[in-house]
Amino acid sequence: MKKLISIALVALMAAGGAVSANAAVKQNKDYQILSSKITTKNNTISIYTYNMKNTGSGGGFVLDGQKSGKRYKYIFKNYLSAPKTITMPSNEKYNIWTCLSSSMGGTTNLDLRQAGGEYVKVRAKLSDINPNEFKSNGTHTQDGHTYNFTRQTVKDGYYESVLFFQSGGVFTGAVPDSNGYVEFYVSTKVDHSVNYFTEYGLDVGLTSGGGGGTNGREIYKLTFGNINLDYSVNVNDASLLQQYLSGNAEFDSLQMYHADINRDGKINVQDVTALQNALSE
């Protein structure tokens, strides 16, 4: 397969074609890449929020150091006025937990040592990300109650829920708008995953505690370099990129984003090479 790709590269280099990553193409129906960009450093976390108001919610996330056992807790309502970047120990890996005022969710792993780089903002409808968890307006219903990712006060207590997205070292706490859309940051490093987390809890009458949620579900279509929009980044994506450059495939807006591997605003043979190099690491 690598030999075939190398032969195809020679042909593409001879053709010398290049396509602007901003060329007019069909919009992807699920995900819109916005112009907002940020750059981070390795061994840092950056905390952003979308459409959140100070409703008193205790929703956030916890990082547990796997070596040190030290716990770091971050509540999104503390970062409403401005994002926050925090430098973390360089020799540590972490477990990510979701948290509410009265409960914590399950854990996934986080390594910040190579998490620095460029991130772009994405706009998406929650029900397109997971229609089994989210309704069209972005809410979630279970056990007779509809959660909206705020603190919901009732006569005998409250319901509470949290939603956030994590890609590399960037965490975005979000509340869907009235149409069920959210915006969050994703890494532009090849094969760096994009995940979402939810947690649902309550303290009503004699009942309190967690009500389940989703712990680090990967949004595969947003993993950078996943040009064919399947479940992984591999040699098939490099092959599809070559087909596109040869005029034998068409890309929508999301695929155009993934295809600009070296982030120079153009799609050409250098992106094929950059993708191959990333896959070989």
Domain that holds residue 130: 31-222
The answer to the question of residue 26 being in a domain is no
Q: What is the dihedral of CA 182, 188, 192, 198, to 10 degrees?
A: -10
235 Cβ contact partners less than 8 Å away, ≥ 6 residues apart:
1, 2, 5, 279
Please name the helix (run of DSSP H) or strand (run of DSSP E) that holds residue 156, with its range, or none: none
Q: Is the dihedral of CA 189, 29, 219, 106 positive or negative?
A: positive
Q: What pLDDT shows up at residue 23? A: 59
Are residues 82 and 35 located together in one domain of the fold?
yes
Are residues 107 and 191 located together in one domain of the fold?
yes
Are residues 251 and 144 located together in one domain of the fold?
no
Structure pTM?
0.91
Token pair belonging to 115 = 């998490």
The answer to the question of residue 161 being in a domain is yes
| 73 in Cβ contact with 171 (< 8 Å) | no
Are residues 45 and 116 located together in one domain of the fold?
yes
Tens-digit pLDDT profile for residues 130-173: 999 999 999 999 988 999 999 999 999 999 999 999 999 999 99
Tens-digit pLDDT profile for residues 61-96: 999 999 999 999 999 999 998 889 999 999 999 999
Are residues 267 and 131 located together in one domain of the fold?
no
Are residues 70 and 198 located together in one domain of the fold?
yes
Alpha helices, H only, 156-228: none
**pLDDT < 50 positions in the chain:** 1-16
φ, ψ of residue 223 in degrees (nearest 5) = -70, 120
The answer to the question of residue 160 being in a domain is yes
Are residues 15 and 116 located together in one domain of the fold?
no
Are residues 135 and 238 located together in one domain of the fold?
no
Q: What pLDDT shows up at residue 212? A: 84
Q: What pLDDT shows up at residue 14? A: 43
Are residues 88 and 68 located together in one domain of the fold?
yes
Tell me the C-alpha distance between 139 and 125, whole Å. Answer: 11
Token pair belonging to 19 = 């396509």
The per-residue DSSP string of 71-84 comes to EEEEEGGGGSSS-E
Domain count, the chain: 2
